[in-house]
Amino acid sequence: METAVEMNSISHWFGKLQVIHDVDLNVEKGEIYGLLGPSGSGKTTLVKLMTGLLRPSEGVVKLNGEKMPALKQMKQFGFMAQSDALYSELTGRENLDFFASLYGMSRKDRRLRMEHVLDMVNLTVDASRPVHTYSGGMKRRLSLAASLIHEPDLIILDEPTVGIDPVLRQSIWNELNRLRDNGVTIIVTTHVMDEAEKCGRLALLRGGRMMAEDTPFRLKSKLEVSSMEEVFLHYGGGIRA
């Protein structure tokens, strides 16, 4: 198996506060890897460290075997942050066109790809409206579409389905599974249990520490419990950091 993301002995401090404690993590190419943990456990910080948005105080991050930060790698992944980086005066389609242009896609590729990702997130009908008229969920969906516009082979999604209704959430997960089947690596942070259940492997975080890492099935069977909720409570709620 080839490794998409490798984190070795990662620790991170904000000032005097240590928020990540000696994390080792490997994400294989073509898997859906989840980071599950309560609020403040370090999920966003970890994904920012992966993407090179933050440099770790200690340790090494590699993307596709290359030490970060590396410009080439930074162009090759899609990142959907928690806060939407959209232009509210522009329409949905204009926003996507802008992001596509950053990646140097040709006009024709851009048009085809835009329509595809708009359809995927069910925004085709609303694509000509300015983003300031969108609901929170619509903005999230547009952000997701923007992170996929250049067909990246690694996508990192920070709580992608917050504010998205269950039907659409299901359709987004269908699309993520389809991308995975085509060899795309997906890293997703979540604190929603049914979403965690859909990941191939999961890392459970608590207080910036990796408490456990395995498939959802094995995490449950090791603890002899039947739900992810119980796993989450065992590692997240039952142990004080």
CA 155 from chain centre, in angstroms, equals 6
7 DSSP β-pair partners: 25, 61
Start-to-end C-alpha separation, the chain = 33
- Tell me the number of residues near ligand ATP by CB under 6 A: 12
Would you count residue 37 as binding ligand ATP (CB under 6 A)? yes
Would you count residue 44 as binding ligand ATP (CB under 6 A)? yes
Would you count residue 43 as binding ligand ATP (CB under 6 A)? yes
Would you count residue 236 as binding ligand ATP (CB under 6 A)? no
Is residue 114 a contact partner of residue 97, using CB atoms and an 8 Å limit?
Answer: yes
Would you count residue 40 as binding ligand ATP (CB under 6 A)? yes
Region at 68 (left for phi over 0; alpha for psi -120 to 50; beta for the rest): beta
Shortest gap between Cβ of 57 and ligand ATP (angstroms)? 12
Shortest gap between Cβ of 211 and ligand ATP (angstroms)? 13
With CB under 6 A as the contact rule, the residue among 7, 23, 33, 45 that binds ligand ATP is 45
- With contacts defined by CB under 6 A, name the span among 33-41, 68-76, 85-93, 106-114 that binds ligand ATP: 33-41
Is residue 62 a contact partner of residue 48, using CB atoms and an 8 Å limit?
Answer: no
Would you count residue 160 as binding ligand ATP (CB under 6 A)? no
Interacting positions 12-31 with ligand ATP (CB under 6 A): 14, 17, 19
**Per-residue interface string for the shown chain with ligand ATP, residues 164-203, x marking contact by CB under 6 A:** ---------------------------x------------
**Per-residue interface string for the shown chain with ligand ATP, residues 110-139, x marking contact by CB under 6 A:** ------------------------------
Would you count residue 211 as binding ligand ATP (CB under 6 A)? no
With CB under 6 A as the contact rule, the residue among 1, 2, 16, 39 that binds ligand ATP is 39
Shortest gap between Cβ of 200 and ligand ATP (angstroms)? 20
Would you count residue 140 as binding ligand ATP (CB under 6 A)? no
Which residues contact ligand ATP by CB under 6 A?
14, 17, 19, 37, 39-45, 191
